[in-house]
Chains A and B, each alone.
Chain A
Amino acid sequence: GAGVSQSPRYKVTKRGQDVALRCDPISGHVSLYWYRQALGQGPEFLTYFNYEAQQDKSGLPNDRFSAERPEGSISTLTIQRTEQRDSAMYRCASSFEQGSYEQYFGPGTRLTVT
């Protein structure tokens, strides 16, 4: 079946603009996660949802970052007033249910803020 999909795959934006990154999890997966990966580093946790409920947003760097999953499926990560330091690969992952373990990752969105 289809894996986790993310769009756009690449996004170039000017400093100060808002961006919205989309994640479509594997069908039927309850849990959805957002991570950010800088070049040469491992992914860093941003936030996570079970169904539509945001369970943990401790990794969001500041209040310019927000995420939602209104119908418990597709999720959007929004970055307002982007800054150059926001440039990174943004990865989404999903897992089947709360008692399940493996997180399956999407291809990521490469964000470049100029």
Chain B
Amino acid sequence: AQKVTQAQTEISVVEKEDVTLDCVYETRDTTYYLFWYKQPPSGELVFLIRRNSFDEQNEISGRYSWNFQKSTSSFNFTITASQVVDSAVYFCALSEVGNYGGATNKLIFGTGTLLAVQP
């Protein structure tokens, strides 16, 4: 069965510290997609990134970076020089390939990591 584990329930850092959020997944599929979503205190779910199982290159977007390692089934998310606005719950999710090759079937979410960035 597919599963996503976010072992860190809560993390608290001081502004400007770097922080890494861990995500470990389980799947029997050879093709799959991984996602990160952000849920700020206002409650909406904001898409951050999608990565397919064939692309193990790390990705950087501004202060955000993602480290995908198939060997350890992990897709970790690092925020560099954290800011108060980064305070949110972060969800990692996994999707199997749909009938048409896109990851449009159900997303399986982890339980989330609450990140609190103190000023």
Query: Which residues in A have some Cβ–Cβ distance to B below 8 Å?
Result: 31, 33, 35, 40-45, 48, 50, 55-56, 58-59, 89, 91, 93, 95, 97-105, 107-108
Contacts and interface: CB of A to CB of B under 8 A. Distances in A.
B102 A100 contact: yes
A59 to B, nearest CB: 7
A103 B101 contact: no
Q: Which of B37, B44, B95, B106 has the most CB of A within 10 A?
A: B106
Interface in B45-103: 45-47, 50, 91, 93, 95, 98-103
Contacts of A33: 106-107
B8 interface: no
Contacts of B46: 105
B109 A44 contact: yes
Contacts of B106: 33, 45, 48, 56, 58-59
Contacts of B101: 99
B25 interface: no
Interface residues of B, number: 28
Given A107-B44, A108-B43, A101 B107 contact: no
B32 to A, nearest CB: 11
A105 B109 contact: no
Q: Which of B43, B45, B102, B107 has the most CB of A within 10 A?
A: B45
A107 to B, nearest CB: 6
A64 B45 CA distance: 27
B103 A101 contact: yes
A103 B37 CA distance: 10
28 contacts: A42-B91, A42-B93, A42-B109, A43-B45, A43-B109, A45-B107, A48-B105, A50-B104, A93-B45, A95-B104, A97-B102, A98-B98, A99-B100, A99-B101, A99-B104, A101-B95, A101-B104, A102-B35, A102-B47, A102-B50, A104-B47, A105-B37, A105-B44, A105-B46, A105-B47, A107-B44, A108-B43, A108-B44
